[in-house]
Chain A
């Protein structure tokens, strides 16, 4: 596709800035690495062999393209617009995270790196990283907040089965942001041989752009599939946002289609009026953390506050810088749904479509549930079903008062 001058698809600039957001706010020790990574990524982008290997692995290892699915009973239940899903929960490892991990490990190998590190919250990115490390025979260290290790024990076991070393992080609040701090500390001490596979479209440039590009396979497929199936583009795209990689992956290829509206859904936790949410855009303010300038949950002094969401994957006090820019530019609308609403939507999808979604896309489904009835029956909503719910059944059972 062409990217005209007034495009929404030509960010970031050469310094990695999305408007006033993004950038490379890292310690000097990491700066040469981050610059080297960008150079190597540009070379890989220009190398047809790199793209061919990426495509081949996505097709034969991950199982792409993922289906585009019309949800008839959910549509009928909501009584408005047609609801369609991009089925990225059917990917190998059960979420969209693997798309990015394939891309980054190919880059790591290309750069001659021999050791992989990553952070994880719910464990999905950790599992995807451990998976590609096993596939390519590289040692792998996953940093995970000690609190999350307790909450997500099945994923911890999966990572270990896949050969990863899982390091519980006890510093700070012992959740995702602390795991990311520890990942950065490891990286800074092991710059010569280590590649840091960041799991979302955040961090220092070029990560936000690179992760978005690897995840854009979601939107590229969906756009072509929708045109083929219906002869038209969707009217509204909906995706959940923690760091924001699944949403950018879906949205980015559509950004220059003016008829397509977009809605990013943040986690409102117990509600935006209190402190217990993870809605950085709607309940936060701009600041600098983990290598980029973006919206953050923070106090008046710039101290970072802990996010809360029923979904461990959305429980991060920041957001990818491109979302911050898309919000300010007005191209994408953002909303938030509570734990309760997500839990209701989780059950609704189970009952109407026979699909158990992860709690992350359950937030997107909750937003669809609100907006579909307000739209005409010939309108099309496309939501990203970015992960499956197997990992969440314990959390859901607990919330529903069921003992397993």
Chain B
């Protein structure tokens, strides 16, 4: 069973946590997320031009690059994470240019060697899948696609075709860390997507609090939290792990118990 299947196959929904690599003590921050109950880790690859991200993740990218983070560093964080946490799915998330810089085969090979399970590339839509997708699939790495409120019924099959691991439903048309969509809209869209696919659907963008996470966990297979965690990394620096643990524990509890109340 793949790590994704295990993580999303538990009785409760999954908590997916994002931080930017190289922003603070990455190993300690990642450990804090896992220890506090994160089921899947998304590790952001910093890029100079993160055009789909809001201010929080933009700043994290700049802090990381300012500290001198390289692609080799990101891969090293991944390798070390895999050694410490053999069962937690690890996703690299970022933009096309750093991923394809040395060629898709190089990147896929390096990511596979580092124990990476999936890759989210924000600016490679299905139409440009050739740029990276085949190289990832050939090495058993899941290309994780995004679906959005603008992905209509006619387009959805194209997005799902070739999607692996899980589908990331972006709940708002906008950038990361901003407003959250109405739960009714999320519920309707997730239901629509789930009619067309068997892979898990995780929902993100604008999810900051345990309350929001709980509401989404009632209707989706997973909840993605990014900007709120990244802000902690930025604000607390070396003290971030304890703070990350605090928020992640609350989020994990909210996500993992969301359906129990429902059933009871």
CA gap between A33 and B97 in the complex, in Å: 22
B97 touches A302 (CB 8 A): yes
Q: Which of A96-104, A122-130, A287-295, A377-385 contacts B (4 or more CB under 8 A)?
A: A287-295
A303 touches B98 (CB 8 A): yes
Given the known inter-chain contacts A188-B173, A189-B178, A304-B97, please indicate yes or no for A23 contacting B128, CB distance below 8 A: yes
Smallest CB gap from A287: residue in B: B97
A191 touches B128 (CB 8 A): no
Complex partner residue of A189 from B70, B124, B175, CB under 8 angstroms: B175
Whether A32 sits at the interface, judged by CB under 8 Å, is yes
Whether A15 sits at the interface, judged by CB under 8 Å, is yes
CA gap between A15 and B127 in the complex, in Å: 8
Chain A residue numbers with a CB within 8 Å of B71 are 301-302
Chain A residue numbers with a CB within 8 Å of B149 are 29
Q: Which of B26-34, B45-53, B207-215 contacts A (4 or more CB under 8 A)?
A: B45-53
Whether B58 sits at the interface, judged by CB under 8 Å, is yes
Q: Which of A71-79, A87-95, A177-185, A248-256 contacts B (4 or more CB under 8 A)?
A: A177-185
Whether A259 sits at the interface, judged by CB under 8 Å, is no
A288 touches B150 (CB 8 A): no
Given the known inter-chain contacts A288-B97, A290-B51, please indicate yes or no for A32 contacting B175, CB distance below 8 A: no
Chain B residue numbers with a CB within 8 Å of A302 are 47, 71, 97-101
Given the known inter-chain contacts A181-B51, A189-B175, A303-B47, please indicate yes or no for A33 contacting B123, CB distance below 8 A: no
How many whole Å from B114's CB to the nearest CB in chain A?
Answer: 15
Interface size on A, residues (CB 8 A): 38
A27 touches B127 (CB 8 A): no
Smallest CB gap from A27: residue in B: B52
How many whole Å from A191's CB to the nearest CB in chain B?
Answer: 5
CA gap between A380 and B190 in the complex, in Å: 64
How many whole Å from A170's CB to the nearest CB in chain B?
Answer: 10
A288 touches B131 (CB 8 A): yes
Complex partner residue of B100 from A188, A192, A288, CB under 8 angstroms: A288
A27 touches B151 (CB 8 A): no
Given the known inter-chain contacts A29-B170, A191-B150, please indicate yes or no for A185 contacting B51, CB distance below 8 A: yes
CA gap between A138 and B14 in the complex, in Å: 46
Complex partner residue of A26 from B49, B70, B125, B147, CB under 8 angstroms: B125
Whether B110 sits at the interface, judged by CB under 8 Å, is no
Contact with A along B230-251 (1 / 0, CB 8 A): 0000000000000000000000
How many whole Å from B67's CB to the nearest CB in chain A?
Answer: 13
B174 touches A189 (CB 8 A): yes
Chain A residue numbers with a CB within 8 Å of B172 are 189
CA gap between A130 and B264 in the complex, in Å: 59
A188 touches B48 (CB 8 A): no
B125 touches A28 (CB 8 A): yes
Decide if the interface of chain B is mainly helix, strand, loop or mixed.
Answer: loop
Given the known inter-chain contacts A27-B123, A29-B148, A29-B150, please indicate yes or no for A287 contacting B101, CB distance below 8 A: yes
Given the known inter-chain contacts A24-B128, A288-B96, A301-B70, please indicate yes or no for A177 contacting B49, CB distance below 8 A: yes
Whether B35 sits at the interface, judged by CB under 8 Å, is no
CA gap between A302 and B103 in the complex, in Å: 11
B175 touches A172 (CB 8 A): no
Residue with the highest number of chain A CB atoms closer than 10 Å, among B62, B101, B174 = B101
Whether B80 sits at the interface, judged by CB under 8 Å, is no
B155 touches A32 (CB 8 A): yes
Chain B residue numbers with a CB within 8 Å of A25 are 96, 123-125, 128, 131
A303 touches B65 (CB 8 A): yes
Whether B159 sits at the interface, judged by CB under 8 Å, is yes
CA gap between A232 and B245 in the complex, in Å: 75
Chain B residue numbers with a CB within 8 Å of A290 are 49, 51
Chain B residue numbers with a CB within 8 Å of A29 are 52, 146, 148-150, 170, 173-174
Which A-B residue pairs are the 4 nearest by beta carbons?
A302-B101, A189-B174, A302-B98, A288-B96
A-B contacts, 8 of them at CB < 8 A, read: A25-B125, A181-B49, A188-B175, A189-B173, A191-B173, A288-B95, A301-B101, A305-B48
